[in-house]
Amino acid sequence: MIRYVATRLVWMLPTLVLVTVVAFLMLHLAPGDPAELLAPADATAEDVQRLREELGLADPLPLQYVRYMDRLLRGDLGYSYASGQSVARELLPRFAFTLRLATASLVLAVLMGLPAGVVAAVRVRSWADHVSMVGSVVGLSVPAFWLGVMLMLVFSVRLGWLPSAGAGTWKHLILPTLTLSTWSIAIIARMTRASMLEVLGMDYVRVARAKGLPERTVIVRHALRNALIPIVTVAGLRFGYMLGGAVVTETVFAWPGMGRFMVQSIQARDFPNLQGGILLFALAFALTNLLVDLCYGLLDPQVRYQG
């Protein structure tokens, strides 16, 4: 397994390099000049050009990219155009907030979606199955921004139980977690139901029941364990998407995470922050996929890893 992990980590490097190339070109070829946004309102064209040269934006794109990669290979993500702070110092605290929100959302999605899918599969075509599937359709259909506003209106404005914005205490995490996890709960519930229905029809499940094993043992130890591989895959992908796709939720609840920060950096055309954020998201997504692959071996002893 160690050789497999080492091989996967090595193969991440070309992927991350490609991400830097695409991100660099997309940002620098998009309309908008950071120097014009940073310059004072009364700045002349000469002042803007001087600022552009100070930022290194007047050089040819290949030279700018080589300079960026040279700093990156030395562990330097550069400095923010707007604040002048190190990009790493800007990103890491915000990434910690996004990681906290994504982790809480994934845990809630698994705790709610997995049992709902199992019950729907075990009691197929019953009222529990219909309620679970209707709820999943609703969860997939409700926009995150609308759900966040409604939760804020009910629990913060009307009832006053929970704070509406910020990230001071654990109570601030509840509403953003509910908003971000809704889509994932629906997906995991539907995937669990489909996977369990397929496994429950297998011969080894019928044999386990014929041996007189308790139904709970048959469901948990024989059916659910073998149905978990596609569910783990979906959960891992959802975690990656939560890390990079929490922009709406973080904006609605003023959560000081990466999504909100990336939106602000886009508005300011802050290329170093954006390049560092995109690279950090890509690395987190790649590591999540590796962790999901390693979980396969724990769920299925027949899985073997080769370098």
Q: Tell me, what's the pLDDT at 307?
A: 47
CATH label of the domain that carries residue 261: 1.10.3720.10
- Which residues, at least 6 apart from 9, have a Cβ–Cβ distance to it below 8 Å? 290
Q: Is residue 193 part of a domain?
A: yes
Instruction: Name the residue type at position 226.
Output: N
Q: Is residue 64 part of a domain?
A: no
Residue 175 · residue 101 · CB < 8 Å: no
3-state helix, strand, coil in the chain (%, to 5): 80, 0, 20
Q: Is residue 45 part of a domain?
A: no
pTM of the model: 0.84
Q: How many domains does the chain have?
A: 1
Residue 274 · residue 27 · CB < 8 Å: yes
Q: Is residue 100 part of a domain?
A: yes
Residue 153 · residue 162 · CB < 8 Å: no
Q: Is residue 261 part of a domain?
A: yes
Rg, C-alpha atoms of the chain? 24
Q: Tell me, what's the pLDDT at 300?
A: 67
Q: Residues 221-250: pLDDT tens digits?
A: 888 888 888 888 888 888 888 887 678 888
Q: Is residue 56 part of a domain?
A: no
More reliable by pLDDT, 36 or 277: 277
Q: Is residue 198 part of a domain?
A: yes
- Which residues, at least 6 apart from 214, have a Cβ–Cβ distance to it below 8 Å? none
- The parent domain of residue 264 ranges over 87-299
Query: Of 43-52, 116-125, 151-160, 195-204, where does mean pLDDT reach its minimum?
Result: 43-52
Residue 94 · residue 274 · CB < 8 Å: no
Instruction: Give the residue-averaged pLDDT of 88-97.
Output: 89
Residue 97 · residue 167 · CB < 8 Å: yes
Instruction: Give the residue-averaged pLDDT of 158-181.
Output: 88
Q: Is residue 196 part of a domain?
A: yes
Strand partners, 79: 86
Round to whole Å and give the CA distance between 50 and 279: 29
